[in-house]
Amino acid sequence: MAGDVDSRRQRIIDATLDVIRDRGLAGTRTQEIARRAGVSAGLLLYHFQTLDGVIAAAMQESEDRYYRSLEDEEAAGRPAVERLRLLVERSGDASEVISAWTLWMEFWVRALRDPATAQLCTTLESRWRAVLLDVIEQGVREGTFTTPSPRVATVRLAALLDGLSVAATLGDREVPVDAVPDLWLAAAARELECDPGLLGV
């Protein structure tokens, strides 16, 4: 029984992500999610209470998938330079990356007016920065990164990736999506006084 419930919840979350990618947040509707998930709108609301609830769960799932993709590498004891590169490489192929960044941009706009969305954005951003900070601190311990403040470097590099992702999503010719990882890693090498060759740039 519990397995059936989990399966239905996952189908609804997967369908929500599909609808958001196809129609954007503004065009996401309960009925369309339910149709794609093969459930009734009433069952969807039973599991998630509101449309905002299922959207928040979908956003959380999207982020969880990214972090799960990093878990094996982290458990393998990789050096910091490899982990830093994986942070951008594991975002997926170009089509997936654009979808994820578009979703984030829509969430940022929504967060300006909706406290619940703002809180979710803060939580997810804090998670990303915590992982990046851990990698930077590891690199300092290993002697491959140098920075007077790993926390400040984390804030700057996180903000830079946000900016690059916006530019790439909007079609900036000087920031093609495929170039974002290397652009970011080159800047990270300067920020962390690291040999760019160690980061593969």
Q: What are the sequence ranges of the domains in the chain? A: 78-199
User: Using an 8 Å Cβ cutoff, are 87 and 132 in contact?
Assistant: yes
Of 1.20.140.10, 1.10.357.10, 1.10.3470.10, 1.20.1260.10, the CATH number of 78-199 is 1.10.357.10
| The pLDDT of residue 114 | 85
Taking the C-alpha atoms of residue 55 and residue 48, their distance in angstroms, rounded to an integer, is 9
Contact between 141 and 89 (Cβ < 8 Å): no
Q: pLDDT digit string (tens) for 28-66? A: 899 999 999 999 989 888 888 888 888 888 888 877 877
Give the pLDDT confidence score for residue 181 in this predicted structure: 92
Helix axes 180-191, 150-169, angle to 10 degrees: 160
Q: Is 143 left (phi over 0), alpha (psi -120 to 50) or beta?
A: left
pTM of the model: 0.82
Residues of the chain falling short of pLDDT 70 = 1-4, 72-76, 91-98
Cα distances (Å, whole numbers) of residue 95 to 27, 86, 160: 20, 18, 21
CB-count exposure of residue 82 (10 Å: 0-12, 13-18, 19+): middle
